[in-house]
Every structure is written in C-alpha cells, then in structure tokens.
C-alpha cells in the first residue's frame, strides 16, 4: 500500500468516507482516523497500529453540537465541561449511543468523545460524513507522533493517507474525564489539568493509575505500556542529577541545567515547551542510537502532572 500525502482536508475526508484510514493533525498529537460506521476501517486501525482490541478508541467530532450523535446522555457535569473546554484537548467518557460499534468502545457501554481545536482538524472532520474514531497515529506502545514525518516513519505503507499539518501545539494526548458515573473522574492527565477542571467542577477526582491486570479499560492510556522509545528512560528529581555517573551514550531533557557529559541535551524554558518536545525528543534519540534518556521529574501540578505520567509510563520495564 502506498500512503498518500495531502494538505487538503477535503481530499483526506474523501479517504475516510470511502472506508480508508487517514492520519490527521490535532493540537494534542496526530490521530489515526476511520469512519465510525465502517467495521472494516475500524478493524484496520488495530491492525495498522498493532493495537490490542480491548483498548477503546476516542471519537472525534467537528463541533460540540454533534456530541449527541455519539453520546446517548450528556450529564449536567459534562455540559459544563463542554461549555468551557470544547473545542480543546479534553475527552469526555459518556454513555454511548447503542449503534456505536464495540470496536470503538471495547465492548463497554460508554464512549470517549472530543472536539479538537485545531482549525485544519475541524475542517477535515466537517468534511467527513460521520464522526471519526481515532487513537494516536503511531505503532502501539511507541511515542505518539506530533508531526506528520513521525507518522510516516511509523505507518508508511500501513495506512491510506496522511493529512499534513503543522506540528502538534501541545504534544501530549488529551485529558480524559469520565462523566458516566455520579462523581466525575479524571482518568488521564493532559493539558487541561486537574486544578483547571476543578475550577469548573470542584467534585472531580483523579483516579489511581491502572495496570495491565485490569480488564477492558474505560479509556486509552490506562492499561497497556505507552510512549516508550527504544532507549531506556530514567526519571530523576531536580537537583539530584540522573546518576552519580552519567551513563554512556545518554541524552537529557528538562528545564534545569544538566551536568556535563550528555551526548544530547534539550533544556526547555518552561513546562509547556518540555511537554511539546517530549515525544519528538524520544524519537530523535532513537534515530541517533541514544541508549539512555534522562528526564527531569516535573512538578506534580498543572501540565507537569501529565508530563510525569507519560515519562513514568515510558520508563516502565518492557
């Protein structure tokens, strides 16, 4: 299969409407989309990524007004979050419409929905006949793709089309909130932080991190290893240094000045820049044959909490 490249949202949407797979930009990371009504296309997502079938997909809509096409019920709590954060980097878990395929929901009675804010993405989605189900556009378990070149490196020949856009502005996947239960629950950290969510809904709680022993997860990012480069990832605390002796062939990313001796260094001026560059840095290190990546531990607040989650998952044994 030859993977087409296009800058036209209309052309990319024609692939979706014919039951094909299209990678597309969003403000978080690039997604790999299929028409939500096409069983064959949905199955192709799991095959192209090597994604476990019990890992649910997020449905992308072009405007907040289309959410009831996907969600059977929109709770009052969800309405408040939609009003404040849609379009944007927030996914809501809601009771699903009965017609939605189990391939999207991993057999659960709920579905994840989001409305991206990227203008090119929304134009693309508005040209699609139906909402688009999409996980991140990368090989399952690898760092998410934040530019179309990374998508091409992972999925060339596995998918039908890549919609070329700018690099993702945020660089981390969307925040996920479960609004299907009486108390809204933060399932995955993202750019919309717990503190920001609690300004709108003070009752929101953060869930404990799930592991591989759980059954079908409510949302992506809860069960399987994620975000891992081939290099070993080490998380270290500010001021302590990654190790007494810097590993050979090692790289560093963070906001603090590292000690001398790293082969590759990316010092970021702030946490937003750190988040924006994390997955790109992982991929660059792999291309350069780096053996160890030392990541400064971010603070456990704001986007720092999301950064810490991604780094901890990347550092898990595999």
* Residue set of the binding site for ATP: 51, 55, 110, 136, 144, 188, 227
Going by the annotation, the residues of the binding site are: 28, 51, 55, 60, 110, 114, 134, 136, 144, 174, 188, 227
Angstrom distances, CA of residue 219 to CA of 62, 93, 178, 210:
20, 8, 9, 11
Going by the annotation, the residues of the binding site for L-threonine are: 28, 60, 114, 134, 174
Is the CB of residue 265 less than 8 Å from the CB of residue 242?
A: no
Rama region for 162: left / alpha / beta (φ>0; ψ in -120 to 50; rest): beta
Is the CB of residue 223 less than 8 Å from the CB of residue 210?
A: yes
What 3-state class would DSSP assign to 103? Answer: helix
Is the CB of residue 276 less than 8 Å from the CB of residue 170?
A: yes
Q: Name 133's bridge partners.
A: 34, 59
- Please give the Cα distance from 97 to 126 (Å, whole number): 20
Residue 7 CB neighbours (<10 A): 12
* DSSP characters over 269-302: SSHHHHHHHHHHHHHHHHHTT-SEEEEEPPPSST
Strand 22-24 to 161-163 pairing: parallel
Distance, C-alpha 14 to centroid of its chain: 24
**Helix H segments across the chain?**
9-17, 39-49, 76-85, 102-105, 119-127, 148-155, 194-200, 271-287, 303-314
């Amino acid at each position: 299969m030859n993977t087409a490249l296009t800058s036209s949202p209309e052309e990319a949407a024609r692939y979706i409407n014919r039951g094909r797979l299209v990678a597309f930009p969003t403000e978080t990371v690039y997604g790999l989309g299929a028409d939500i009504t096409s069983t064959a296309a949905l199955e192709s997502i799991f095959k192209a990524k090597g994604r476990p079938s019990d890992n649910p997909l997020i449905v992308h809509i072009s405007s907040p007004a289309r959410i009831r096409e996907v969600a059977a019920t929109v709770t009052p709590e969800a309405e408040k979050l939609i009003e404040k954060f849609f379009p944007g980097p927030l996914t809501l878990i809601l009771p699903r419409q009965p017609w939605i395929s189990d391939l999207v929901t991993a057999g659960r009675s709920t579905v994840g929905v989001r409305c991206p804010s990227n203008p090119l993405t929304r134009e693309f989605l508005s040209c699609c006949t139906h909402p688009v189900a999409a996980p991140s556009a990368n090989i399952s378990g690898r760092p998410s793709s934040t530019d179309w070149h990374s998508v091409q490196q992972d999925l060339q020949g596995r998918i039908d089309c890549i919609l070329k856009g700018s690099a993702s502005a945020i660089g981390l996947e969307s925040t996920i909130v479960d609004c299907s239960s009486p108390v809204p629950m933060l399932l995955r950290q993202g750019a919309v932080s717990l503190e920001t969510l609690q300004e709108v809904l003070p009752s929101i709680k953060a869930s404990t991190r799930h592991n591989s022993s759980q059954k079908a997860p409510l949302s992506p990012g809860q069960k399987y290893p994620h975000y891992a480069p081939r290099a070993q990832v080490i998380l270290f605390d500010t001021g302590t240094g990654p190790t007494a002796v810097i590993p050979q062939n090692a790289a560093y990313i963070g906001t603090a000045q590292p000690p001398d001796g790293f082969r590759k260094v990316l010092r970021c001026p702030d946490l937003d820049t750190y988040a924006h560059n994390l997955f790109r840095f992982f991929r660059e290190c792999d291309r350069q044959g780096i053996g160890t990546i030392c990541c400064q531990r971010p603070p456990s607040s704001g986007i720092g909490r999301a950064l810490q989650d991604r780094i901890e998952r990347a550092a898990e044994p595999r």
